[in-house]
């Protein structure tokens, strides 16, 4: 089969307009295993196929791209980099985006290979064309270019090639194309900055990080909303957070939140700014962040009381993030009755909000109430029990009612709440004393889709693996849970049928 493909490839090279041969080659290649092609890689001559890409013929281009994609996979990245350099350069300036994407996918293979990447770094013209691909209209082309440049920058030589040559001027030139392209370049810069302190240093020296931060704290509210997402990405790294703190950026973001009340357009950027602090709190210390920036906690409480679903959603998500560890839970507990009212509000929204917001509320409740066994002190167990009871007059029935609604995502989110509290003795007592609850847990007929079956299984597993469950549920119910667990999430009880004579 591979020999037939080679013969067809030679035939294509001899003909002027080999459309039929291209179709035949395309068809044959689909059936040739890749390992067979690899054995013949040395004999593959791809020049004629690349030449055909220059003809303004849509079907030929489509066929050639598909054929080249298959054949290039059979070649080692080093071979592609050394022998198809000119073809790669032409591919990046080809008017057809499918050709650019093919070329960038090969460059992607090359930059992932430590032996081949040098060929790219030594080719200034090719690097320049990759940079200019960021400015194209096609998002897939731009994303592929960003990915390749980000990968190149993982090495010292790559950082030098990008930031200590004319390439930096090309990057700044591309940024001037329009707002969208400028944000793409910022995205690349943040990706590179996030790798290491040294990478961040190259990016700050270039002036591009400073430019991004200037836009973040500028007057354009829509630009702020876009920039905060990128700055949040940088804050996921320790060195990124250190840099933002040293430059006073975190204080500036806090001050903008303080002034948001007098800004009629604050709803555009406020959600992103609050998310930033939520992530910051979890990655550093919830207590330190909340004490140093009290406006953050204040704004979260305000947003929960809002009538705007977007604001409520962000506040709920942030509370869930903040309460995902014990330190964060304790920070929230210190706010006293205010947090109890917030829990009542979340309980109300869990029942009455649109489905998407209900799910976010349920996810936040799961995060707030979960306690790993090793952290279950008497004080913390009393706290989670108190929080649970603040959600509603009968929280167990509230979540059970939500789980019976005909939305699989809602059903799973409600089961997650039960799973979060399943290893806590107070919750086990509530479940056991709630009429029909144990039967509900072991009833397989309630769940019909895979996600729901998986969620129910996680609940059963959390209960069955708890050290206190046998004592609280009793041995017969404990054995039912163990049986469910051993049968797995998708077990179907065999139905015995009896043949009746004369029945049709």
3-state secondary structure labels for all residues of 409-422: HHHHHHHHHHHHHC
Confirm if 319 and 304 have CB atoms less than 8 A apart. Answer: yes
Distance, C-alpha 180 to centroid of its chain: 21
Encoded tokens for 218: 């500028």
Sign of CA dihedral 355, 410, 384, 331: negative
Q: Residue 377: count other Cβ atoms within 10 Å of its Cβ.
A: 11
Distance, C-alpha 352 to centroid of its chain: 28
Contacts of 301 (CB under 8 A, 6+ apart): 315, 335, 338, 342
List the chain domain ranges.
407-485
Confirm if 350 and 365 have CB atoms less than 8 A apart. Answer: yes
Contacts of 275 (CB under 8 A, 6+ apart): 228, 232, 314, 317, 318
Confirm if 280 and 235 have CB atoms less than 8 A apart. Answer: yes
- DSSP state, 406? S
Residue with tokens 């056991």: 432
Could you give the CA distance from residue 400 to residue 459 in angstroms, rounded to a whole number?
Answer: 13
- DSSP state, 494? P
Distance, C-alpha 396 to centroid of its chain: 32
pLDDT in the model for residue 354? 93
Could you give the CA distance from residue 357 to residue 317 in angstroms, rounded to a whole number?
Answer: 10
Q: Virtual CA dihedral for 398, 404, 410, 411, nearest 10 degrees?
A: 110
* pLDDT values of the chain reduced to their tens digit, one per residue, 504 residues: 455 555 555 544 454 546 777 787 777 777 777 676 666 666 666 777 777 777 777 888 888 888 888 888 878 888 888 888 888 888 898 888 998 998 999 898 898 888 888 888 888 899 999 999 999 899 999 999 999 999 999 989 999 999 988 999 999 999 999 999 999 999 999 999 999 999 999 999 999 999 999 999 888 889 999 999 999 999 999 999 999 999 999 999 999 999 988 888 988 999 999 999 999 998 888 999 999 999 999 999 999 998 899 999 999 999 999 999 999 999 999 999 999 999 999 999 999 999 999 999 999 999 999 999 999 999 999 999 999 999 999 999 999 999 888 889 999 999 999 999 999 999 999 999 999 999 999 988 888 889 999 999 999 999 999 999 999 999 999 999 999 999 999 888 876 555 555 554
Distance, C-alpha 499 to centroid of its chain: 54
pLDDT in the model for residue 6? 52
Of 126, 128, 140, the closest CA to residue 96 belongs to 140
- Indicate left, alpha or beta for 488 from its phi (over 0: left) and psi (-120 to 50: alpha): left
Please list the alpha-helical segments (H only) found in 422-449: 425-433, 437-442
pLDDT in the model for residue 342? 95
pLDDT in the model for residue 405? 82
Contacts of 441 (CB under 8 A, 6+ apart): 418, 431, 456, 459, 460, 463, 481
Of 360, 359, 292, 303, the closest CA to residue 331 belongs to 292
pLDDT in the model for residue 15? 46
The CA R_g of the chain, rounded to the nearest whole Å, is 30
Q: What is the pTM of this model?
A: 0.80
What's the per-residue H, E or C state across 193-255?
HCCCHHHHHHHHHCCHHHHHHHHHCCCCHHHHHHHHHHHHHHHCCHHHHHHHHHCCHHHHHHH
Encoded tokens for 461: 């597993």
- DSSP state, 312? H
Could you give the CA distance from residue 501 to residue 504 in angstroms, rounded to a whole number?
Answer: 9
- DSSP state, 349? H
Helices (H) and strands (E) in the chain, counts: 34, 0
């Amino acid at each position: 089969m591979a020999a037939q493909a080679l013969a067809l490839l030679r035939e294509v090279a001899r003909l002027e307009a080999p459309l039929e041969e291209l179709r035949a080659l395309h068809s044959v290649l689909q059936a040739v295993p890749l390992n067979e092609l690899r054995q013949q890689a040395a004999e593959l001559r791809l020049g004629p196929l690349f030449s055909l890409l220059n003809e303004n013929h849509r079907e030929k281009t489509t066929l050639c791209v598909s054929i080249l994609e298959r054949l290039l996979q059979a070649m080692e990245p080093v071979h592609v980099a050394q022998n198809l350099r000119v073809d790669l350069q032409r591919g990046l300036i080809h008017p057809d985006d499918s050709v650019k994407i093919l070329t960038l996918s090969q460059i992607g293979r090359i930059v992932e290979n430590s032996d081949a990447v040098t060929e790219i770094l030594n080719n200034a013209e090719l690097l320049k064309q990759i940079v200019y691909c960021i400015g194209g209209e096609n998002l897939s082309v731009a994303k592929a270019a960003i990915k390749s440049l980000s990968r190149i920058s993982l090495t010292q030589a790559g950082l030098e090639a990008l930031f200590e040559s004319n390439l930096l001027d090309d990057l700044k030139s591309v940024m001037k194309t329009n707002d969208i392209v400028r944000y793409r370049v910022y995205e690349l810069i943040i990706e590179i900055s996030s790798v290491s302190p040294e990478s961040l240093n190259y990016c700050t020296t270039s002036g591009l990080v400073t430019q991004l931060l200037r836009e973040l704290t500028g007057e354009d509210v829509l630009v702020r909303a876009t920039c905060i997402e990128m700055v949040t990405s940088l804050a996921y790294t320790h060195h990124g957070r250190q840099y933002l703190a040293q430059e006073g950026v975190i204080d500036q973001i806090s001050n903008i939140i303080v002034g948001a009340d007098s800004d009629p357009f604050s709803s555009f950027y406020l959600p992103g700014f609050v998310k930033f602090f939520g992530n910051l709190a979890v990655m550093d210390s919830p207590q330190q962040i909340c004490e140093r920036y009290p406006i953050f906690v204040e704004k979260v409480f305000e947003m929960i009381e809002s009538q705007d679903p977007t604001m409520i959603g962000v506040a709920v998500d942030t509370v869930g993030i903040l309460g995902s560890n014990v330190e964060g839970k304790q920070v929230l507990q210190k706010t006293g009755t205010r947090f109890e009212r917030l829990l009542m509000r979340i309980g109300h929204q869990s029942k009455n909000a649109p489905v998407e917001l209900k799910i976010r509320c349920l996810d936040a409740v799961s995060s707030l109430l979960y306690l790993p066994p090793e952290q279950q002190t008497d004080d913390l167990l009393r706290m989670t029990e108190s929080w649970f009871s603040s959600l509603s007059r009968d929280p167990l029935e509230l979540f059970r009612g939500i789980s019976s609604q005909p939305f699989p995502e809602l059903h799973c989110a409600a089961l997650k709440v039960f799973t979060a509290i399943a290893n806590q003795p107070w919750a086990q007592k509530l479940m056991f004393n709630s009429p029909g609850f144990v039967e509900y847990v072991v009833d397989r007929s309630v769940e019909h889709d895979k996600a729901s079956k998986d969620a129910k299984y996680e609940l059963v597993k959390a209960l069955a693996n708890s050290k206190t469950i046998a004592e609280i549920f009793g041995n017969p119910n404990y054995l039912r849970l163990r049986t469910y667990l051993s049968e797995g999430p998708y077990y179907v009880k065999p139905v015995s049928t009896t043949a009746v004579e004369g029945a049709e």
